[in-house]
Structure 1
Amino acid sequence: MKAKSITLGLLFSVLLLSHATLVCGTTAVANPLFQQLQLLQQDERMRSASMGFVAIDINTGDTLASINPHEALVPASILKIVTTATAFELLGADYRFRTVLGTNGMVDPYGTLHGDLIVKGSGDPTFGATRFPQSSALDSIFNYWYALLKTAGIERVAGRVFVDESVFDTQLIPRAWLWENMGNHFGAGTSGMSAINNAVTIIFQPGQSVDQPAVVLRTEPQVPGMILRNYVTTGERNSGDQVWIFGAPYQQERMLHGTVPFGALEFPVRGSLPDPPLFVAESFSRFLNDRTIYTALSPTTHRIANLMELQIPTLTHTFGQYSSPPLNYIVSQINLFSENSASEALVKTLGLQTTTPATFSAGLAVIRNFWQNAGISTNGMFLFDGSGLAPSNRITAGQMTAILRHIVSRPYFQQFQESLPLAGRSGTMQNVLRNTASEGVLRAKTGTLSNVRAFAGYTTTLSGRRVAFAFMVNHFHGTGTELRNEMVKVLDAITRYNQ
């Protein structure tokens, strides 16, 4: 085990836990933060683990405690703090995505549009996504667009519905994501034309007993062309969602493995949409045909048209547009509920500052360069996505707390702080730290991957000090629940810090 140092600011204490001696004042020994860190480091299950911890006074910059502040660790979803803060900085709290409906043709006196209906995407992660409560459902948007077309006198379309998603490149997911993630809803990725969180819900009917096959009843919504190879069986009662969905971007075939719980009449499991732009094109085309605005040609997308060497239509007239909720609302949903797809949309949107179509690599370079120019060392900061799903990401606890402290002085700070889940009350912290000093006080973004748990955010101590903290543990020899339970004791000890 590596020798690791703990520095307790203003308490003159140093803890070295391997081949070392504890040296501290009596106040340090009595302090709950020091005690909890010491207990965790001495836990036998930490022998294989790497840990980074920093807690700093926001006002003075003094360090309350630190362990390996410069060790680069896997951050999981606390990386969303870096992504969303950069978006606030460079896009602004009032930024909105705008999806345009237009055409390359003209309407004749008989109501025929001689040309295509073009839906030009902007990378909006909230488009038709009811998981963002301030966003409109897909049918509501389509109804609005239908009314615009009727107002324009359109009764039929000589062309097709053409979705132009070319504001982003065609890479839906970051290259470092794992095969086990990309078919599931949390691995849906992002597109220049996203919709319904780029996710589809598969409804299962469990078997009559454990180990019997589970049946796929339907998908919500219907996804034309998607093929489900179902190998899911029935698990124990109350065993929850144990289904893994395997399938690559643009691949219509999905392999379903795992179990759904016995006893449920129906059980929903969310997976990723194979091709979000094509889903929008087909859905809007079908919506119009059902309402007697008939399209002569099959719907398609910019990517497919390029593959088939079709002519790409140029937008010459706009009927209207759909605007997303403002960025501050989008960030609140990303951080409260750890929305991966929306995080990656922000990465590519930031990439538009340097290149079009936007790429993940361009957006990640913008993020890294911004913090470097803000005076924060990026040594050891390795970014492969914006959501934290990639296990290749690395950041240090020192960098994370430096970013958190920087945010405090920015005009968007209150909106950002309120986007972080509140202990015992909201988001991914709703059931954490209830009936403790931290409930209703501590705010933290959580991070969870296999063998990774992380927290980062703000709290106010019993002595009135405003504190920013970052806490990451990789490769703990125990269950994720066991590790989380030990880590939250440390978090509560920050709030109970009385110096």
Structure 2
Amino acid sequence: MLKIKKILIATVVICSVWGNVNGANLQEKIQQIIARKDQQKVEYTISIIDPQDGKVVYSHNAAKPLTPASNMKIVTSFTTLKQLGTNYKFVTTAGLVGNKLVVIGCGDPLLGYDGKNFVSQIVEALKAKSITQLDGIIIDSSIFDNECVHPNWPRTQINRSYSCEVNGLNYNGNCIKISAAVNNGKLNLTKSPDTEFLKMLNNVKVITKGDSAIGSNRTQQENEIIVFGKCRRPASFDVAIERPNLMFGTLLMESLNRAGINVVNPITEETVNSPEFQMVTEFETPIIEVLHNCNKDSLNIAAECMIKLLAAKTSGRAGSWQGGRDAIGSYLQTLGIDKTEFYIDDGSGLSSINKISSNALAKILLEAYKSELWATFKESFAIGGVDGTIKKQFYKDKYKNRVFAKTGYINGVRAMSGICIGTNNDKEYIFSIITNHANYPTKTAITNIVEAIVDEG
């Protein structure tokens, strides 16, 4: 009987808490959420704006800069979109200088993804010209500088797909998929794309029970990895490679050889400005497609290529992280955002050195909202309950299709910023929520805040 009473008392307390939240106004609801016992050590910066008049609906530590994780992608992607416009295209070009094949990179982060097989396209174009021998292959990736790995990315994670190198000529996300399977008691390791560019040392143990788990470590030798772990059932992972522009060159040479086109000399890296250049074929990727991969799916390389491209276009020099910082910093100041409210370090938010306030993010979103770019930019966000990184959030009918946002997560950081539509009168609200020293329940707290905003409208 005592146990039943305790359960009843606990239920009454929980119902009372939620009753208070549901009966409170928006400000009170948010204050109650961030005051939860499990959130008391979490730092919050929150801004909510009515985009129709630009007035602040709610703020909490709004000017305090915190590490934004992938909410940094909002800053990078909109600044780049504003600079280049919705019609911009990444154009990778292949041509001939004499009898040498030249491939000129444009910083396209999606080349090699999902049907974007530029290697095969080049081979077919050369076959159509009845070319059977080339004197060499020149790779020109000089649109970006030679700093391919950001100095403030976690050094223990540089072989992960989300920490891949950033190059003027990227391919397949600058990764190779490693797959392991057991056939007749023997382990079979495969690579996709299959290339000699990456060497594998097998240290995987075949097991007959338990879960499969495989991974890799780099050796001292460039593009040589040790694959380790246990395998009973098929397993796979993506590994980031070094010098991805040369991986592209190697894949191209291997494909040419298979097609009967002999390449006489080794691959070289050069900047090509020859008037003798004759285009053979090119590949285009619209910036809108890059935006979607950046914001909806949170693809880091998409953001990093955009910040370096922004630098190249605004400075006239090889795209660099420093140039991107300068360009973004200048733009933020034109919005009236104080220098104390941000520090730009990379484009994707993988660096924990990035800092920005919710006020700054909300102002960027408001600027986007008021511009002719808004429809394009909004479409790049994940939609609650529908797709992207918030497909499994806001899935209830009350919230589905009403939240358009970019999430952010690295160790100790949770963030979400975007726009949402109220359920009562379809009123829109721009919001930005960034948390540091975040814990597991922080994700729920952020979700509850956004739900409270939707309930308000």
Sort the TM-score into its range (normalised by shorter chain).
0.7 to 0.9
* Pairing of 1:13-412 with structure 2 (within 5 A): 30-31=23-24, 33-105=26-98, 113=99, 116-130=100-114, 136-138=115-117, 141-157=118-134, 159-205=135-181, 217-228=189-200, 245-247=216-218, 251-255=222-226, 265-302=233-270, 314=274, 316-352=276-312, 353-412=314-373
- CA distance, structure 1, for counterparts of residue 290 and residue 177 of structure 2: 22
Matched residues, percent identical?
Answer: 21
**Cα distance in 2 for residues equivalent to 1:383 and 1:243:** 35
- Cα distance in 2 between the residues matched to 1:405 and 1:237: 55
- Superposed CA deviations along residues 329-355 of structure 1, whole A, max 9, x for unmatched, are 210121110010111111111111204
Aligned amino acid, residue 444 of structure 2: N
What's the TM-score once normalised by structure 2's chain length?
Answer: 0.87
- Find the aligned partners of 1:73 and 1:215 in 2 and give their Cα distance: 47
Cα distance in 2, alignment partners of residues 239 and 371 from structure 1: 49
SS in 2 for 1:325: strand
Name the structure 2 match of 1:133: none
Query: CA–CA distance in 2 between the matches of 1:385 and 1:497?
Result: 35
3-state SS, counterpart of residue 59 of structure 1: coil
Deviation at 1:419, TM superposition (A): 0.9
Counterpart for residue 442 of structure 2:
483
Q: Which runs of 5+ in 2 are unaligned?
A: 1-19
336-345 or 223-232, larger mean C-alpha shift: 223-232
CA distance 1:248–1:67, shift in 2 (3 Å): farther
1:222 shift after superposition: 2.2
Partner SS for 2:106? coil
Task: Render the CA deviation track for 1:101-159: whole Å, top value 9, x for unaligned.
Answer: 12221xxxxxxx3xx211111111121111xxxxx432xx33332333234342211x2
**Contact conserved, 1:55 with 1:401, CA < 8 A, in 2?**
yes
The Cα shift of 1:206 comes to 7.7
Query: Which residue type is aligned with residue 459 of structure 1?
Result: C
- CA distance in 2 between counterparts of 1:250 and 1:407 reads 46
Runs of 4+ in 1 over 4 A off after TM superposition: 229-240, 242-250, 312-315
| Cα shift readout 1:408-451 (whole Å, capped 9, x = no counterpart) | 11111001111101100010110011115321111110101111
- Over 3 Å counting, the alpha-carbon distance change for 1:244 and 1:57 in structure 2 is farther
Residue equivalent to 1:23: none
Q: Report the secondary structure of 1:145's partner residue.
A: helix
Q: Which residue in 2 is equivalent to 1:469?
A: 431
Instruction: Tell me, in whole angstroms, the C-alpha distance in 2 between the residues paired with 1:172 and 1:238.
Output: 39
Tell me the TM-score normalised to structure 1 length. 0.80
Q: Which string of whole-angstrom CA distances, capped at 9 and with x for unpartnered residues, describes residues 233-270 of structure 1? A: 79999989x7665549993133556x67x76x311211
Deviation of residue 463 (structure 1)? 3.7
Cα separation, 2, equivalents of 1:79 and 1:237: 43
Unaligned runs of 5+ in 1: 1-26, 106-112, 131-135, 209-213, 304-311
CA distance in 1, matches of 2:179, 2:255: 23
For residues 204-233 of structure 1, the C-alpha deviation after alignment (integer angstroms, 9 at most, x for no partner) is: 34899xxxxx96611111242423456667
Instruction: Identify the structure with the greater helix proportion.
Output: 2
Amino acid across the alignment from 2:315: T
C-alpha displacement of 1:366:
0.8
Secondary structure of the structure 2 residue equivalent to 1:473: strand
Change (3 A) 1:490 1:171: same
Aligned mates of 1:450, 1:215 — CA distance in 2? 35
